[in-house]
Amino acid sequence: MTTSAAQQSDWLRRFHPTPQARMRLVCFPHAGGSASYYFPMSAALSPAVEVVSVQYPGRQDRRKEPCIDDIGELADRIDAELRAGQAGAGVPVAFFGHSMGAVLAFEVALRVEQRGGPGPVRVFASGRRAPSRFRPGAVHQQSDAVLIEEMRRLGGTDSRWLQNEELMAVVLPVLRSDYRAVERYRSGPDRVIDAPITVLTGDADPHTSAEEAQAWSGHTRGDFALSTFSGGHFFLEQHQAAVTGTVTEALGPLLER
pLDDT of residue 4: 37
Return d(Cα 204, Cα 102) in angstroms, integer.
18
125-174 pLDDT, tens per residue? 999 999 999 887 776 666 777 777 777 766 656 556 666 667 667 778 88
- Phi-psi label, residue 209: left if phi above 0, alpha if psi -120 to 50, beta otherwise: beta
* Residue 99 bears catalytic tag: yes
Other CB atoms within 10 Å distance of the CB of residue 166: 7
Which of 42, 99, 126, 177 is catalytic? The answer is 99
pLDDT of residue 254: 82
Return d(Cα 99, Cα 97) in angstroms, integer.
7
Estimate to the nearest angstrom the gap between the alpha carbon of 248 and the chain centroid: 17
pLDDT of residue 158: 54
pLDDT of residue 6: 40
Residues in the chain: 257
pTM for the structure as a whole: 0.90
Domains of the chain, each with CATH number or no CATH: 3-133+187-256 (3.40.50.1820)
Residue numbers of the chain with a pLDDT score lower than 50:
1-7
